[in-house]
Amino acid sequence: MRNFTVIDEEFICSNCGKKVEKLGYSCRNHCPYCLHSLHVDVMPGDRAENCHGDLEPIGLEINNKKGYIIIFKCKKCGAIRKNKAAEDDNMDLIIKLSSKH
């Protein structure tokens, strides 16, 4: 079984309602405007998770190789997930997250 399924598609953010374009260089997994995501994957890109809750950004880690890693908590089931920040993410929100964690 693969650990990562490549899906890079545009979507409408269920949190802020903005249209989110494809990322282009990797998979888009959260909204660059509000940083929210949906709890839809068991393994990255598989869309096998049944929860579909809102993944709220709650913190930030800094990885020497990957850069900023956003920490999410599902508002529906409480699961914690992590995703690499994208180049076009709202840097003001990233900075606010860094002060929370």
pLDDT attached to residue 88: 93
pLDDT attached to residue 90: 96
Instruction: Give the largest Cα separation in the chain, rounded.
Output: 37
pTM: 0.87
Please count the structural domains in the chain. 1
Is there a domain that residue 5 lies in?
no
Is there a domain that residue 71 lies in?
yes
SS3 70: strand
Domain range spanning residue 33? 11-100
Q: Mean pLDDT of residues grouped by 10 in the chain (101 residues)?
A: 72 95 83 96 86 96 94 97 93 88 54
Is there a domain that residue 29 lies in?
yes
Is there a domain that residue 3 lies in?
no
Question: Cα–Cα distance between 8 and 15 in angstroms, integer?
Answer: 19
pLDDT attached to residue 1: 47
Is there a domain that residue 81 lies in?
yes
Is there a domain that residue 6 lies in?
no
Is there a domain that residue 4 lies in?
no
